[in-house]
Amino acid sequence: MRWGFSLVFYYLIAIFIILLDQVTKWQIVTKMYLGESIPIIEDFLYITSHRNRGAAWGILQGQMWFFYVITSIVIIAIIYYIQKEAKGKWLLGVSLAFMLGGAIGNFIDRLLRKEVVDFIHTYIFNYNFPVFNIADSALVIGVVLLMIQMLRDERETKEKSYGENGTHHS
């Protein structure tokens, strides 16, 4: 893939995630009352109108300036890595795009609403998992893809090392 096209593709992924995240949150805010829950798959998946003024699992409640600073740094770092490190590494670019979209999606909530709108509510093996949103999902997917990319890079480095030296000696 040509580099210019790749960059556009990565940013389009991020924009799609941001739009999907914000549209779904807008639907929750305008169509449901806080605390309302709609079963999708009984005892497994619900749409639940929830708000979070903290980070994952509600930690650091009300620390908005902290989130503004950290998220700004994260967004700048992700853009830097997309620009400088993703060339020729489509999986790295896609993983960073997912993380960028997720970070910006929740950042918009914190800026405009002073809280994050969450609505995806699951019970997994009878565990009441914390309510989350599309941006959170994109962040998790991005991190998983980044870990896969890192494992691929590590394997490639080992293969080059073995190829250059014959057999590996510890």
Residues annotated as catalytic (active site), given as ranges: 118, 136
137: left (phi over 0), alpha (psi -120 to 50) or beta: alpha
Question: 130: how many CB neighbours lie within 10 A of its CB?
Answer: 15
End-to-end Cα, the chain, rounded Å: 38
Q: Tokens 């489509």 map to which residue? A: 90
Q: Tokens 């250059």 map to which residue? A: 164
The conformation of residue 32, written as its DSSP 8-state character, comes to: S
Is residue 39 within 8 Å of residue 100, measured between CB atoms?
no
